[in-house]
């Protein structure tokens, strides 16, 4: 299990890490974040952990402000010295609410609760995805018009799909553009998700056409494709974490 701790008190963070190791030696603490700002920046660009332990009162605000800025997919166990935030904690994706100082027995109960809820839920989700993928058939080619002629372009020869001046195009790996009668939203549903990824509103790229991935800003990435260079090949801020996971599967 991979966890992230949001805690501004160093001693409290160290104690929680020791307790987690005592309870389950397989738990890996990916990061300790000490402020609202640091948490927002980290969750904006990293793949979601399995579980988050989050202190409520931090030096630069309360941790609920994090949820107002970024989407946190992982379940959260809140830790705090005060119980006044209990109701508000359960309005976000909270598993439990632990009062400081955190005791080993209480931590064990919270982790047991997390496993009971999310292990069963994840198994159900995974099985549903398997059947969904088995039942779904994706396009293997696109028919394009060239003047008065038509040509069928195999999916493996397509570098990307993109929108330009309200028209949708496919670009082949040899650099040719062909106009399509589909919207990008429609195409995204027609092609295999393990092969194509929607990096932003205007580009859907083939994983096999990516030649280079560059850090573009603190929370965005820039891509280069074989035989294609465009300023629009930017992985949007809200897609960066999912994109990294897609590339690393």
More confident residue, 77 or 217: 77
Report field, pTM of the whole predicted structure over 0.85: no
Residue 92 has a pLDDT of 54
Among 117-131, 161-175, 221-235, the minimum mean pLDDT is found in 117-131
> pLDDT tens-digit profile of 108-164?
998 988 888 776 555 444 445 544 554 457 889 999 988 888 999 999 999 999 999
How much of the chain, in percent, has pLDDT values that exceed 70?
Answer: 88
Residue 99 has a pLDDT of 85
Residues of the chain with CATH 2.40.50.40: 141-247
First to last CA, the chain: 17
Q: What is the mean pLDDT of residues 63-79?
A: 88
pLDDT band, very low/low/confident/very high, at 93 (cuts 50, 70, 90): low
* Residue of 191, 153, 187, 189 lying closest to 172 (CA atoms): 153
Residue 83 has a pLDDT of 60
Per DSSP, the residues of 161-223 read EEEETTEEEEEETTS-EEEESS-HHHHHHHS-TTTEEE-SSSEEEEGGGEEEEEE-SSS-EEE
Residues of the chain with CATH 3.40.50.2300: 2-133
Pick the CATH number of 2-133 from 3.30.360.10, 3.40.50.2300, 3.30.420.40, 2.60.120.560: 3.40.50.2300
CATH of domain 141-247: 2.40.50.40
Q: How far apart are CA 209 and CA 167, in angstroms?
A: 22
Q: How far apart are CA 151 and CA 141, in angstroms?
A: 10
Look at strands 76-80 and 196-198 and give their pairing: unpaired
Residue 84 has a pLDDT of 55
Q: Quick one: tokens of 234?
A: 């930017």
Does residue 185 have a pLDDT over 70? Answer: yes
pLDDT band, very low/low/confident/very high, at 231 (cuts 50, 70, 90): confident
């Amino acid at each position: 299990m991979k966890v992230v701790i949001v805690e501004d008190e160093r001693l409290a963070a160290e104690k929680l890490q020791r307790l987690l190791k005592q309870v389950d030696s397989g738990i890996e603490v990916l990061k300790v974040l000490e402020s609202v700002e640091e948490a927002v920046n980290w969750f904006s660009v990293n793949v979601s952990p399995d579980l988050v332990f989050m202190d409520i009162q931090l030096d630069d605000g309360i941790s609920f402000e994090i949820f107002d800025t970024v989407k946190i997919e992982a379940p959260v166990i809140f830790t705090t010295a005060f119980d006044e935030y209990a109701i508000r904690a359960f309005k976000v994706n909270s598993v439990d609410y632990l009062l400081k100082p955190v005791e080993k027995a209480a931590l064990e109960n919270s982790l047991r609760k997390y496993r009971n809820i999310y292990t069963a839920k994840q198994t159900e989700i995974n099985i549903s995805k398997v059947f969904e993928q088995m039942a779904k058939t994706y396009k293997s080619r696109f028919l394009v018009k060239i003047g008065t002629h038509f040509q069928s372009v195999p999916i493996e020869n397509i570098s990307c799909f993109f929108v330009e001046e309200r028209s949708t195009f496919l670009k082949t790996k040899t650099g040719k553009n062909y106009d399509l009668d589909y919207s990008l939203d429609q195409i995204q549903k027609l092609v295999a998700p393990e092969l194509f990824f929607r990096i932003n509103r205007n580009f859907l790229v083939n994983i096999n056409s990516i030649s280079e991935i560059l850090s573009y800003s603190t929370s965005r990435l820039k891509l280069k494709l074989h035989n294609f260079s465009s300023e629009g090949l930017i992985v949007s801020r809200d897609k960066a974490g999912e994109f990294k996971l897609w590339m690393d599967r």
